[in-house]
Amino acid sequence: MQKSIERIAGDTEGVSYEFPVFRFAGADKAAPSAYLQAALHAGELPGVVAIDALMPAMNKAEAEGRIKGSITVVPWANPIGRAQYHFGEHQGRFHLGTRNNFNRGFPLLAAPDAKLLPDTTLGTPDQRLKTRLVQLSLGHDIVLDLHCDDEGLAYLYVHASLWPAMADCAAAMGIDAVVLWSEDTDGTFEGATIMPYQNVPANVAKLDRRVATTVEYRGMLDVDGTLANSDAAGLYRLLVARGVIADTALPPPSPFKGLVAPLENIDMMPAPRAGAILYDVRPGDRVAKGARLATIVHTPGEAGGRTEVLAPQDGVILTRRSRRIIRAGEDLLKLVGDKKSADARSGTLED
């Protein structure tokens, strides 16, 4: 394993940001290569501890000569967001200097060619970071961007062109659900890793062996040793199943039996009033149309001070908010409906 340090220049003299990159050399040039990164939203830590738990297995595989394809690992991909605190609260989702989401505004290239990347020398630090992360990931067959939601199931965002070919990956990782998407107008990191392969010859795209996904490892508070070890085992099984690491002791993944739905089926359920949330459902619950999902207590102690939120269709609760105070119009949860949502959204679901 080789470790290097990436440095991103800040806005002013004397300010810069650093993050480590670990590389494992592959013994077989024909084997698939992999890129793993975590905490692009810098406060989302399940992926960070999963990579920490995975590293011993990869070091062992390297020592035993079982790493076939090259592997690049970025355990904490966002040193800018990692350093951001406001009034004592960590702020890792948006860059405070530009107000841009750290997982938006990535360059969407027409082909997998680093020469097409923009020159961000005079850009903002978050633009420089995004360009460098795309450059580091470009050319890898497998690209995993590890995130988490507020409270939720473990699920993947997968471009429709990669499904069902990626079903083995979802099964290997022990994922509960897969959300399929086809349009990226906001420049997510996942979009930046798959869009360059959409309009190139098949022998370049190699979609049958390509993996590109945003991994949502449950919720913000799901950071503990047991889950980290379980998630690390899932990542290791994926790398073995796809031929990046050789391990004859592992059987092939079983068929994926989780939920699969297009992004357009998701109802985000905006809150009708501002107030305190009383949830009636948890992630994983199956609900029927008209079932009460939550109650908003907006004028406590008064007649008519509560407003119920009902399911617009049959479906499964994918996620819900972790905090219990909400503004009017703010999304309460993600309901994966059995059919297209009346409020169907394309591209990204949230800011």
Q: CA angle, corner 157, sides to 152 and 158, nearest 5?
A: 150
Residue 198 has a pLDDT of 94
Residue 26 has a pLDDT of 97
How far, in Å, are 70, 81, 84, 88 from residue 178 at the CA level? 27, 27, 31, 35
In a domain, 36, yes or no: yes
- Indicate if 94 and 225 belong to the same structural domain: yes
Q: Which pLDDT band holds residue 346 (cuts at 50, 70, 90)?
A: confident
Rounded to whole angstroms, the Cα distance separating 233 from 326 reads 36
Domain final position from 227, 257, 287? 257
In a domain, 178, yes or no: yes
Rounded to whole angstroms, the Cα distance separating 259 from 318 reads 10
pLDDT tens figures, 71-95: 999 999 999 999 999 999 999 999 9
pLDDT tens figures, 139-158: 999 999 999 999 999 999 99
In a domain, 282, yes or no: yes
- Indicate if 317 and 210 belong to the same structural domain: no
Residue 68, amino acid: K
The total number of structural domains in the chain stands at 2
How far, in Å, are 87, 151, 171, 346 from residue 83 at the CA level? 13, 24, 35, 32
In a domain, 344, yes or no: no
In a domain, 343, yes or no: no
Which range of residues forms the domain containing residue 312? 265-337
Rounded to whole angstroms, the Cα distance separating 187 from 208 reads 23
pLDDT tens figures, 151-195: 999 999 999 999 999 999 999 999 999 999 999 989 999 999 999
Half-sphere exposure of residue 49: CA atoms within 13 angstroms, side-chain side: 17
pTM of the model: 0.97
Q: CA angle, corner 295, sides to 289 and 298, nearest 5?
A: 140
Q: How many helices (H) and strands (E) does the chain have?
A: 7, 20
**Position 113 pLDDT exceeds 80:** yes
- Indicate if 293 and 149 belong to the same structural domain: no
In a domain, 94, yes or no: yes
- Indicate if 53 and 107 belong to the same structural domain: yes
Rounded to whole angstroms, the Cα distance separating 63 from 297 reads 58
- Indicate if 165 and 277 belong to the same structural domain: no
pLDDT tens figures, 302-342: 999 999 999 999 999 999 999 999 999 999 999 999 999 99
283 in Cβ contact with 201 (< 8 Å): no
Q: Which residue matches tokens 């107030």?
A: 275
pLDDT tens figures, 266-293: 999 999 999 999 999 999 999 999 999 9
